Amino acid sequence: MQREFCVADTYVGKRLDKYLAIQMPEFSRSEIQHFTILHNGIKPKLSEKVRNGDVYIVEIPDVKSESAIDNISTDFDLDILYEDDDIVVINKPRGVVMYPSAGNKTGTLVQNLLAYTHLSALGGDIRPGVVHRLDKDTSGVMVFAKSDAAYRGLVKTFMNHDLVRKYIAFAWGVPNWDGATITGNIARSSRNRQKMTMVKSGGKPATTEVNTLNVWTRSGVCELRCNLLTGRTHQIRVHLSAHGFPILCDDVYGRGRSRLESVKNQELLEFLKTHHGQMLHAEVLEFNHPVTGEKMKFKAHLPDDMLELKCILNEE
């Protein structure tokens, strides 16, 4: 499929990859990098700045991946927080993958949603209606687009960070502060491409506001509320770990093995040894409705395992 774009005054000076991402919100910037792009018959650099009247021809390859709609399923009950003709808001369970991939062709969140309702096709065959993501083992509030108008509006909302996202995390460490702001660029690790890391140069800027909710000194554990001011991959997990407060049960960034030796509470020790998946929950999501403009706020209760963990800690 081939598409043609002529740059208008509004976008003059933007990087080419950012410009194309705005024009084609159904594709991520990383996907666009693999498209054939021509400007006056020459392949341009994606970092170049676009000028008024520039014309770009984009060749989009046919996607041969298995469509999510081919394997709709009802593997688990959906916790629907809100729904109308344009959006559906859910409380995502821990342990569920967002959409089909090489290692997860069935049982995904999108496939279960498609068994319940329709989603905007603008997200593509694999990710219909998807405008943001939560890691497999992060639970909490998510919004999906049902209409194309909602998809376009939500993509713009998330791109401009014009929303509120608050998370609850149980982490190692006893902070001596009530609140802190963590800033630091995040990039993919050069040692392990599956991990993200904080870098002094390069990467993408990231900011997380953190407030202390509870501290259990004997166990060396705290409960934190994290407010995302940007939305980078693994942002909270990377920021907290880099500043000495890795999230409990995080197999990637948690550094938990070195901490377990100090745990004297046998019930807590058993919980930490038997649970997998970071104790991180997307508690609050606030945004303006992408079609009506109405202010909306959703809050998802803590999952059972995090409530169990809190009960154990409160008994210390």
The pLDDT value recorded for residue 27 is: 77
Rounded Cα distance between 10 and 163, Å, is 23
Helices (H) and strands (E) in the chain, counts: 8, 14
Rounded Cα distance between 287 and 79, Å, is 19
Phi/psi of residue 304, nearest 5 degrees: -60, -40
Neighbours of 63 (CB within 10 A): 12
3-state secondary structure of 217: coil
Instruction: Determine contact, residues 140/282, Cβ cutoff 8 Å.
Output: yes
Rounded Cα distance between 199 and 191, Å, is 13
35 CB burial (10 A radius; 0-12, 13-18, 19+): middle
DSSP codes, 18-67: HHHHHH-TTS-HHHHTTSEEEBTTBPPPTTSBP-TT-EEEEEPPPP-SPP
Active-site residue (options: 54, 135, 137, 250): 135
Pair type for strands 221-228 and 164-172: antiparallel
CA angle centred on 182, ends 200 and 224, rounded to 5°? 140
Q: DSSP code of 95?
A: T
The pLDDT value recorded for residue 22 is: 86
The pLDDT value recorded for residue 103 is: 67
Active site residue 86: no
The pLDDT value recorded for residue 69 is: 59
3-state secondary structure of 176: coil
Which pLDDT tens digits describe the chain residue by residue (316 residues)?
788 999 988 889 999 998 998 888 767 777 788 899 999 888 999 999 999 999 999 988 755 444 555 667 677 889 999 999 999 999 999 999 998 876 677 789 999 999 999 999 988 888 999 999 999 999 999 999 999 999 999 999 999 999 999 999 999 999 999 999 999 999 988 888 788 999 988 889 999 999 999 999 999 999 999 999 999 999 999 999 999 999 999 999 987 667 888 888 899 999 999 998 999 999 999 999 999 999 999 999 999 999 999 999 998 7
Instruction: Determine contact, residues 276/251, Cβ cutoff 8 Å.
Output: yes
Rounded Cα distance between 126 and 145, Å, is 14
CA angle centred on 142, ends 105 and 306, rounded to 5°? 90
The pLDDT value recorded for residue 49 is: 94
Rounded Cα distance between 213 and 228, Å, is 16
Q: CA 306 from chain center: how many Å?
A: 20
Instruction: Determine contact, residues 290/150, Cβ cutoff 8 Å.
Output: yes
Rounded Cα distance between 13 and 48, Å, is 9
- Helices 304-314 and 266-274 meet at what angle, rounded to 10? 160
Rounded Cα distance between 114 and 68, Å, is 8
The pLDDT value recorded for residue 65 is: 45
